[in-house]
Amino acid sequence: MGFNLHGKTVGVLGTGKIGTAFCTIMLGFGCKVIAHDIVQSKTLLQKGVKYVSFEKLLAISDILSVHCPLTAKTRHLFDHTALSKIKKGMMLINTSRGAIINTKDAIDALKTGQIGYLGIDVYEGEENIFFKDLSATVIKDDQIERLMSFNNVLITPHQAFFTHEALDEIARITIANFNSFENNTATENEVVCALPHLLLNACK
């Protein structure tokens, strides 16, 4: 049995390009969208997205989608302490980097019902299992085997980007970056990190 998105409170951690796109989609479903980032998007504020503290994001989100980079500050950001503060039964989605979630603690939270649903396109041990055919071998990673045993967990092998359009765009941007570097000109994709000492090491 599923549930309607309309009217749900959707939390978004990290409002860069992907987080912004996700916010816009959720607004289209009639969700109340809240977010947390050290750099607030004026565009999202104008659309009605409200920025809140990380603690409030955990406490009131029915669905929480993670879109922040992996740094020393965000590694295992979702550990036992953070997961004990989430709204019981909420849906947690991570399509950013696997190690942002402490897998062991997430399994414990799933067993108690603290996490109601978990969707991950990334996994902290993915390099050993996601990019090769292991159908004829024994999986030695007990944690992902345990995750796959839950009927409320969906795991995809880091392929949310895997479309013709996305791959074409990746190739186009890569070539443009090479050309800018070769011509010693500024690239439109240059990343300038601001306030690296803060929680999300946000980039603009």
Q: What is the CA radius of gyration of the chain?
A: 18
Q: Contact at 8 Å (CB) between 11 and 65?
A: yes
> Is 126 in the active site?
yes
Exactly one of 36, 67, 124, 158 is catalytic; name it: 158
As to burial, measured by CB atoms within 10 angstroms (0-12 exposed, 13-18 middle, 19+ buried), residue 203 is middle
Reduce the DSSP state of residue 8 to 3 states and report it.
coil
3-state percent helix, strand, coil for the chain, nearest multiple of 5: 35, 15, 50
Exactly one of 80, 126, 165, 190 is catalytic; name it: 126
Exactly one of 36, 67, 97, 124 is catalytic; name it: 97
Q: List beta partners, residue 50.
A: 34
Distance CA 196, CA 46 (A): 26
> Is 97 in the active site?
yes
> Is 158 in the active site?
yes
Helix (H), strand (E), coil (C) string for 75-140:
CCCECHHHHCCCCCCEEEEECCCHHHECHHHHHHHHHHCCEEEEEECCCCCHHHCCCCCCCCCCCC
Q: Contact at 8 Å (CB) between 150 and 111?
A: no
Catalytic residues: 97, 126, 158
